[in-house]
Every structure is written in C-alpha cells, then in structure tokens.
Amino acid sequence: MILEAVMLQVKEGMEEEYEEAFSKASSIISSMKGYLHHELQRCMDVKGKYLLLVKWETLEDHTVGFRQSKQYLEWKALLHHFYDPFPTVEHFEKVALS
C-alpha cells in the first residue's frame, strides 16, 4: 500500500467552494483502479490549508493509472484552479517496525 500525501493551500475566500468541488471530485478518484481510501483534512491553524491523504494499492495506480487517465482531466478541471501555490505530491510507504 502507498500513501499519497498532499498539502494544499486554497486561495483565500474560496474554501467553501473548494470543499463542494472536492466532494464532487471524490467520486472520480474513488472509481479508479487501485484506489483504497482518501480523506481531506482542514487545517485548524491556517485558513485555507488542507491535507489530502489517499491510499493506493501501488504507486503506479496513482502515477500512471490515475494521472494518465481521462478521469484525471475531470479532477484537474474541478480542483486545480483553487490552489496557490500549486501543491507538491509525495508518496510514502509504511515502515516495518519489529
């Protein structure tokens, strides 16, 4: 399992509209092959800041399967105009602790 983590900064005054758009976009990502789970967290300390966490079966399910799909174009159209600056996406894997 891979965890995609993205810190998002939404343009000032667009938070409510963003959350509505994200709700619509959720059905896009959740329909993708390899998708397991996602959640959007609103920062309590910084207005307009969010944390997106998405669990994928494999890295390629996100980077190839989703990012190179026609559904990604819909996702992008719904959400990308809200971000300033544009976010950096990072991927994590669980550390096996003994």
Which pLDDT does position 98 carry in this prediction?
A: 85
Q: What is the pTM of this model?
A: 0.95
Output DSSP code: residue 92.
E
Q: Which two tokens stand for residue 82?
A: 């809200």
Report helix, strand or coil for 64: helix
User: In the chain, at which residue ranges do the beta strands (DSSP E only) sit?
Assistant: 2-9, 35-42, 49-56, 89-93
- Per-residue confidence of the chain (98 residues) as pLDDT tens digits? 999 999 999 999 999 999 999 999 999 999 999 999 999 999 999 999 999 999 999 999 999 999 999 999 999 999 999 999 999 999 999 999 98
Output DSSP code: residue 80.
G
User: Terminus-to-terminus CA distance in the chain, angstroms?
Assistant: 18
Q: What's the rounded Cα separation, in Å, for the pair 53 and 38? A: 5
- Which domains are present in the chain? 2-92 (3.30.70.100)
